[in-house]
Structure 1
Amino acid sequence: MYTTSTAFLEALTEAGISHIFANFGSDHPALLEAIAEARASGRPIPTVMTAPNEMVGMCAAHGFAQVSGKPQLVLVHVECGTQSLAGAVHNAARARVPMLVFAGASPFTQDGELTGSRNEFIHWLQDVHDQRGIVRGYMKYDAEIRTGRNVKQMVHRALQFATSAPKGPTYLMGAREVMEEELAASVTIDPKQWKPVDPGALTAKAIARILDGIDKAERPLLVTSFAGRNPNAVGELVRFCERLGIGVQESAPSALNIPHDHPLYLGNQWNEPHQNKALAEADFVLVVDSDVPWIPTINRPAEGAPIVHIDVDPLKEAMPLWYIGAEESVRADAETALAQLNAALDARAIDAKKVAARTAHYSAQSKARRAALAEKETRSEGLITPEFLTATVRKHIDPEETIVLSEGITNYTVIANHMRMTAPGSYFASGGSSLGWSGGAAIGSKLAAPEKTVVALTGDGSYMFSIPSTVHWMAAKYETPFLQVVYNNRGWKAPRFSALAVHPEGYASKANDLDLSFEPSPAYADIAAAAGGAFARKVDRPEDLDAAVKEALHVVQTEKRCAVLDVWLSPV
């Protein structure tokens, strides 16, 4: 039979979807039949990856898209599976990650009127008023498939939304009877008609305003968080800043935006409670692709410094409260905008003396920063510091052949500072704020770039959120080995810091126990060993760390197994 489900799978293949991260249920008989039929007849369909936990499956799709730029399908079970996607939905939305989520729906007939009619008690329990509404606030597009006659149009439209800037997740659902519908003829459309919408560009006025503002400035500064989500934007950004001597400051970076050894790179800032020196000195600020370029209660540009903002979503339409005081905001793609600015410079006189002075100023700051960081990487007697741990991992990787996933939370800054990644597309954070992304993302990253070594650096709280039993079962089954390093604080450090930031002299500052401890600490590495045969080691002495990292990477690269290092950091 040629059914809606057959056409659905064909549409995915036409769109270039290579993987289905699936958690099947009673709503999917038609899809299971169509998958089996395709395999039996030799017809190509995406590779099905069984994801015993829906959130891990969506995190894998997230990681795959971050590395490759290509959306994948996450398949879940009715409203239960939709809810089990959990915080991965938030992360995909906030990080603007393209993907398609498909969920079945309870049958809408109960007397056998159509194939797929209700025949299990759960079909009444899983019939809810607004299944799509569960995730509507996070999806760029949501719809219901109501007939197989236009299912391909629905799939391609959902993916067109997902891949058009600002990118993001989309959601389709279809009841059993609809997915079972037998079609008289195959559904044929032209996928070329469903390409992503071309990205926005700067106007001539905006180009002139930006370049004129930089010309007048002594200390122009570019602030970004995720321009490097598109690796092609990195080269344009570097070229632009080099030609004009502009310093680059990252704010909560979720991608590598500029090589971290570049002399114009001034570092990254997250929640550190102090004024950023470069931002305070800047007399022109160009913000490119950033949701939070600074936290104004503690860190902001100087009064009167002109701010221009370039972003594919400059209004931050999903955020009820957002403003940065920009005197001009432009809806434009970062790569396109920076390429336009570089092209405009070709026909513009540049004050070489002024550029040299700016470059010398920022290069001196960058050199001093790197020297200060190097001092923190030395080994302390009996203690493993986050800086020493990160530097040790860095020593054993090839930065050109490694993808680093950071979910260190209170060690976000440390990881970004001390991994010192340099290649576009080599460093990612989730881009959102829901924890547990890095395990599934490591699987997706390895699938997207099997030739790379994937290293996931995570806090102990994030590790537990990631459902490591599912992560490491999937990694073993689908041969996606990666190194996972747990920065073990023995508890939640972030809530402690949040409490002390608001109540520095309050009761919480004096309390011995804020109910944030994970002690006695679980055997984190052993969970991975039991679930997926991973190499597992606990490291609590600094003298053992170097050998442990070396052996773990050997296991990942040579034995093709995951390795988990449970590294006990010095007490807070």
Structure 2
Amino acid sequence: MQDPVIQNIDRPTVPVKSNDLAWKSDVAAELLRRSKIPFVVLNPGASYRGLHDSLVNYLGNTAPQMLLCLNEDHVVSIAHGYAKATDQPLACVLHSNVGLMHGLMGIFNAWADRVPMLILGATGPVQPEKRRPWIDWIHTAKDQGALLRHYVKWDDEPRSVHGVIESMTRALQMTTSAPKAPVYVCLDAGLQEEPIADAIDIPDFDRFAAPDAPCGTPADIAEVADMVAAAKHPVFLIGRGSRQQLHWDRRVELAETAGAAVITSLRERAVFPTSHAQHISPPSGWMTAGAKAAIKDADLIVSFDWVDLNGYLQQFDRKTHRLGARIVHVSLDSILHNGWSMDHFAPVAADRHVMADADAFIEQLLPAIKSRLGKPRAPWLKGGPATPRGFSDDAEKELIPHDIEALLTELQKQHPITLAHTVIGWASTDLPMSGPLDYLGHDGGAGLAAGPGLTIGAALALHDTGRIVVGVLGDGDFLQGATALWTAAHYSVPCLFIVSNNRSNFNDEVHQETVAKTRGRPVENRWVGQRIDDPAVDLAAIARAQGVDAIGPVQTLSELRDAVNQGLDAVKSGKPFFIDARVKPGYANIIVSRHG
């Protein structure tokens, strides 16, 4: 999946003459090659200078190729974006403890988003006699994995070259096994730089491939199929799902066979066509009026890996155990839960808990329901596409955030668009989702600075598909992640960045208004300490400084349409493009405006 243009970037000046394993870091590089991971995303660091040399002078910076970033935040977010689009990991490398500290927020985002990722770190040298004065001492830690152990699936710090083989083999198998999540392997700097003295035997990676996703038991299949067949008003809550078209088609067939009403989440990636008659409410992180009506009348709710199921249902009734509907919860997520993070959410009161991958269970469930019903059942509740809100009345004078969504909807009729990122408050009423690559969800852990890297990672993954990858970013998110654009410019990664620029940390304005109302204090002061203005930041200049063509600020619909058309031409030619769209502060999604 590597782009020919990318393949001709950053090639060694002196060609590699031998591929003989000579140094222990060569073994780690060889393992990356055999894993078929196409790219290694990194920001350089002396703690892994041995591995860096191996990637260049042993592998020739091909298969995998290094992607240079200017900050470890972007190293992780680019790998995260790639995984969101492919369900497959990239490798990323983080320097010693200080580089790892930079990347921790991105790792938490990826963890909360349950995506695969191979993170390589470095420390040491572990042996004190090998340490250079001062610098090697402050960059050595006894247990570097302790910094992130609570939000990775597994971590290790191998002490021998044979340990490196075992550790990386296990890490790759674990990160690609359901439920997927990042893994971390820390490489001793001293070990990397040792010559190989013994024969090295690298196993066949095919024999260590991830197992098939766990399925439901025969009892699970029979009971849930019976419950669906007996239900008059079934509701399917479809949360996490793969990017495979086959899985998408099965979800649709299951809903049509059962006659179920379907609800999806804006926090997760596209999993079901939003224009389908049985998709009864626009995707949202909060329960919409249409979703509440469906939950009210439902006699069966089946959750297919819905994130925070109890929290979602609490929006209908705080005491979820009092709901009249029977509840089935299909998820493997509890395998990853620990006591550090509350991302396990509140316990779910369900009549049947199924420990299975949601898509694997749907494959099992579909024939069982067909055998019970004989033919597809008529849907008990219909929804279909939401009525588009279109452009605001004053869009030619002043843009609002929803005008960006309305324009992308207009463009989607002519171009296959992948929406890699959205701002808080995205309405989702206009832009339809008709396939698994139309929308790639949120950043997982709500950590800022991720949006630019997520967009680049998705574009890297989808560069040869003919899709236009678009990231809609908040101004605060962009300003914290702006230098990620240099990587897009350097490697000619085609993607379109649109900043919905309200010149404020607006989500916190909403929170300050909530507190002021509760305390009987003036809400007019909510902006203090929040506004990014006076002077307004020249976002387009920042983008141009990274080597990305940019326009802005644009302030009317005509200006925005012209800018987007220029951006589409640039992306089609293989380049990134940036637009600063100045919008009136506010949220397109009214529910988010209330909750913040």
Provide TM-score, normalisation by structure 2: 0.86
Query: Is contact 1:101–1:170 with CA below 8 Å preserved after alignment?
Result: yes
Q: Tell me the amino acid that sits aligned with residue 73 of structure 1.
A: A
Mapped to 2, the partners of 1:277 and 1:492 lie a distance apart of 34
Does 1:68 find its partner at 2:86?
Answer: yes
Does 1:295 find its partner at 2:295?
Answer: no
1:98 to 108, 116, 121: 116
Q: Tell me the amino acid that sits aligned with residue 194 of structure 1.
A: F
Mapped to 2, the partners of 1:315 and 1:149 lie a distance apart of 29
Residue number in structure 2 paired with 1:389:
404
Deviation per CA, 1:117-144, whole angstroms, max 9, x where unpaired?
2225211122234211001111111100
CA-CA distance at 1:164 after TM superposition: 0.7
Query: Is contact 1:2–1:185 with CA below 8 Å preserved after alignment?
Result: no
Residue number in structure 1 paired with 2:26:
6
Seen in structure 2, the aligned counterparts of structure 1 residues 22 and 308 have a Cα distance that, compared at 3 Å, is: same
Residue number in structure 1 paired with 2:56:
36
Deviation per CA, 1:210-246, whole angstroms, max 9, x where unpaired?
2222233332111122224555421111100011211
Q: Tell me the amino acid that sits aligned with residue 339 of structure 1.
A: E
Residue number in structure 1 paired with 2:589:
none
CA-CA distance at 1:200 after TM superposition: 1.2
Does 1:56 find its partner at 2:74?
Answer: yes
Mapped to 2, the partners of 1:38 and 1:163 lie a distance apart of 26
Mapped to 2, the partners of 1:396 and 1:385 lie a distance apart of 18
Which region of structure 1 is more displaced relative to structure 2, 12-21 or 216-225?
216-225
CA-CA distance at 1:194 after TM superposition: 1.4
Residue number in structure 2 paired with 1:331:
355
CA-CA distance at 1:501 after TM superposition: 4.7
Query: Is contact 2:124–2:190 with CA below 8 Å preserved after alignment?
Result: no
Residue number in structure 1 paired with 2:436:
424
CA-CA distance at 1:56 after TM superposition: 0.2
Residue number in structure 2 paired with 1:107:
125
CA-CA distance at 1:108 after TM superposition: 2.7
Residue number in structure 2 paired with 1:114:
none
Query: Is contact 1:438–1:456 with CA below 8 Å preserved after alignment?
Result: yes
Seen in structure 2, the aligned counterparts of structure 1 residues 398 and 529 have a Cα distance that, compared at 3 Å, is: farther
Residue number in structure 1 paired with 2:7:
none
Residue number in structure 1 paired with 2:235:
221
Please give the secondary structure, in 2, of the residue aligned with 1:544: helix
Deviation per CA, 1:478-519, whole angstroms, max 9, x where unpaired?
110211111112212222333445664432634353421111
Please give the secondary structure, in 2, of the residue aligned with 1:457: strand
Mapped to 1, the partners of 2:308 and 2:507 lie a distance apart of 18
Residue number in structure 2 paired with 1:533:
548
Query: Is contact 1:4–1:148 with CA below 8 Å preserved after alignment?
Result: yes
Query: Is contact 2:510–2:526 with CA below 8 Å preserved after alignment?
Result: no
1:171 to 165, 179, 184: 184
CA-CA distance at 1:263 after TM superposition: 1.3
Which region of structure 1 is more displaced relative to structure 2, 288-297 or 7-16?
288-297
Which region of structure 1 is more displaced relative to structure 2, 487-496 or 9-18?
487-496
Seen in structure 2, the aligned counterparts of structure 1 residues 280 and 251 have a Cα distance that, compared at 3 Å, is: farther
Query: Is contact 1:314–1:329 with CA below 8 Å preserved after alignment?
Result: no
Residue number in structure 2 paired with 1:484:
497
Give matches, 1:227-306, under 5 Å.
227-266=241-280, 267-271=282-286, 276-293=292-309, 294-300=311-317, 303-306=323-326
Mapped to 1, the partners of 2:350 and 2:516 lie a distance apart of 32
Mapped to 1, the partners of 2:523 and 2:79 lie a distance apart of 41
Mapped to 2, the partners of 1:540 and 1:43 lie a distance apart of 44
Mapped to 1, the partners of 2:245 and 2:517 lie a distance apart of 41
Give matches, 1:345-360, under 5 Å.
345-350=369-374, 355-356=377-378, 358=380
Q: How many residues align?
A: 550
Q: Tell me the amino acid that sits aligned with residue 179 of structure 2.
A: P
Please give the secondary structure, in 2, of the residue aligned with 1:485: strand
Does 1:569 find its partner at 2:589?
Answer: no
CA-CA distance at 1:14 after TM superposition: 1.1
Please give the secondary structure, in 2, of the residue aligned with 1:329: strand
5+ long unaligned stretches in structure 2:
1-20, 587-596
1:342 to 358, 366, 369: 366
Please give the secondary structure, in 1, of the residue aligned with 2:531: coil
Provide TM-score, normalisation by structure 1: 0.90
Q: Tell me the amino acid that sits aligned with residue 417 of structure 1.
A: T
CA-CA distance at 1:459 after TM superposition: 1.5
Seen in structure 2, the aligned counterparts of structure 1 residues 126 and 157 have a Cα distance that, compared at 3 Å, is: same
Query: Is contact 1:251–1:292 with CA below 8 Å preserved after alignment?
Result: no
Which region of structure 1 is more displaced relative to structure 2, 446-455 or 135-144?
446-455
CA-CA distance at 1:205 after TM superposition: 2.1
Mapped to 1, the partners of 2:379 and 2:263 lie a distance apart of 18
5+ long unaligned stretches in structure 1:
112-116
Does 1:80 find its partner at 2:98?
Answer: yes
Query: Is contact 1:410–1:493 with CA below 8 Å preserved after alignment?
Result: no
Mapped to 2, the partners of 1:270 and 1:517 lie a distance apart of 26
Query: Is contact 2:91–2:119 with CA below 8 Å preserved after alignment?
Result: yes
Give matches, 1:15-26, under 5 Å.
15-26=35-46
CA-CA distance at 1:186 after TM superposition: 3.1
Please give the secondary structure, in 1, of the residue aligned with 2:225: helix
Residue number in structure 2 paired with 1:127:
140
CA-CA distance at 1:169 after TM superposition: 0.6
Q: Tell me the amino acid that sits aligned with residue 203 of structure 2.
A: I
CA-CA distance at 1:68 after TM superposition: 2.0
Query: Is contact 1:228–1:425 with CA below 8 Å preserved after alignment?
Result: no
Q: Tell me the amino acid that sits aligned with residue 368 of structure 2.
A: A
Please give the secondary structure, in 2, of the residue aligned with 1:536: strand
Query: Is contact 1:2–1:186 with CA below 8 Å preserved after alignment?
Result: no
Provide the identity percentage.
Answer: 24
CA-CA distance at 1:570 after TM superposition: 2.1
Mapped to 2, the partners of 1:421 and 1:335 lie a distance apart of 19
Deviation per CA, 1:339-379, whole angstroms, max 9, x where unpaired?
11111133223476xx3251xx31xx335xx22x3366666
1:402 to 417, 420, 432: 417
Please give the secondary structure, in 1, of the residue aligned with 2:445: coil
CA-CA distance at 1:27 after TM superposition: 1.3
Please give the secondary structure, in 1, of the residue aligned with 2:283: strand
Q: Tell me the amino acid that sits aligned with residue 213 of structure 2.
A: P
Q: Which runs of 4+ in 1 moved over 6 A?
A: 272-275
Mapped to 2, the partners of 1:187 and 1:529 lie a distance apart of 49
Q: Tell me the amino acid that sits aligned with residue 322 of structure 1.
A: A
Which region of structure 1 is more displaced relative to structure 2, 504-513 or 45-54?
504-513
Please give the secondary structure, in 1, of the residue aligned with 2:263: strand
Which region of structure 1 is more displaced relative to structure 2, 252-261 or 46-55?
252-261
Q: Tell me the amino acid that sits aligned with residue 446 of structure 2.
A: S
Q: Tell me the amino acid that sits aligned with residue 47 of structure 1.
A: Q
